[in-house]
Amino acid sequence: MKRTHYNGLLTLNEVGQHVTLVGWISRKRNLGSLLFIDLRDRSGIVQLICEDPSLVPDVKNEYVIQVEGTIRQKDVPNPNLKTGTIEVVVSSLKVISSASTPPMIIDNVTDALEDTRLKYRYLDLRRPIMQEKLITRSRIIKTFHEFLDKQEFIEIETPLLTLSTPGGARDYLIPSRLQHGSFYALPQSPQIYKQLLMIAGMERYYQVARCFRDEDLRADRQPDFTQIDIEASFLDQDEFLTLMEPVLQKLFKDILGQDILLPLAKYTYEYVVINYGSDRPDLRYDLPLVDVSLLSKSSFEPFQTAKYIKGIVLKGQGASLSRKVIDDLNLELRKFNLKPAIVLKVIDGVISGSFTKFLTDQLSASLIDELKLQEGDALILTSGDDFKTFHFGMGALRNLLAKQFKLIDETKTSMFWVTEFPLFEGNDDGRLVSSHHPFTRPMDEDIPLLDTYPLIVRSQAYDIVINGYEAGGGSLRIYDKSLQQKIFSLLGMSAEEINRKFGWFIEAFNYGTPPHGGIAFGLDRLVMILTGTDNIRDVIAFPKNLSAVGPLEKTPAPVDQSQLDDLGIVIKTEGT
Query: Do 46 and 23 share a domain, yes or no?
Result: yes
Query: Do 40 and 82 share a domain, yes or no?
Result: yes
In the chain, the number of structural domains is: 3
Residue 549 falls inside a structural domain: no
Cα dihedral 310/312/313/315 (nearest 10):
180
Residue 120 falls inside a structural domain: no
Query: Do 137 and 263 share a domain, yes or no?
Result: yes
pLDDT at 167 over 80: no
Distance (Å, whole) CA 538 – CA 115? 12
DSSP assignment of 464-506: EEETTEEEEEEEEB---HHHHHHHHHHTT--HHHHHHHHHHHH
What percent of the chain has a predicted confidence (pLDDT) above 70? 99
253 lies in which domain range?
130-267+415-540
Residue 275 falls inside a structural domain: no
Question: Over the stretch 351-393, which tens digit does the pLDDT of each residue have?
Answer: 998 999 999 999 999 999 999 999 999 999 999 999 999 999 9
Query: Do 422 and 487 share a domain, yes or no?
Result: yes
Residue 386 falls inside a structural domain: yes
Query: Do 145 and 262 share a domain, yes or no?
Result: yes
Question: How many Cα atoms sit within 13 Å of 575 on the Cβ side?
Answer: 0
**Mean pLDDT in the chain?**
94
Among 311, 473, 286, which residue's Cα sits nearest to residue 393? 311
Question: Over the stretch 28-53, which tens digit does the pLDDT of each residue have?
Answer: 999 988 999 999 999 999 999 999 88
Query: Do 257 and 326 share a domain, yes or no?
Result: no
- The set of residues, in sequence order, having a beta carbon less than 8 Å from that of 404 and lying 6+ positions away, is 325, 328
Distance (Å, whole) CA 68 – CA 50? 11
- Residue 260, classified by CB atoms within 10 Å of its CB into exposed (0-12), middle (13-18) or buried (19+), is middle
Query: Do 399 and 424 share a domain, yes or no?
Result: no
Q: Strand 173-175 to strand 154-155: parallel, antiparallel, or no bridges (unpaired)? A: unpaired
Query: Do 246 and 290 share a domain, yes or no?
Result: no
End residue of a domain, out of 381, 404, 427: 404
Residue 87 falls inside a structural domain: yes
The sign one gets for the Cα dihedral 121, 127, 128, 130 is negative
Question: Over the stretch 52-98, which tens digit does the pLDDT of each residue have?
Answer: 888 889 999 999 999 999 999 999 999 999 999 999 999 999 999 99
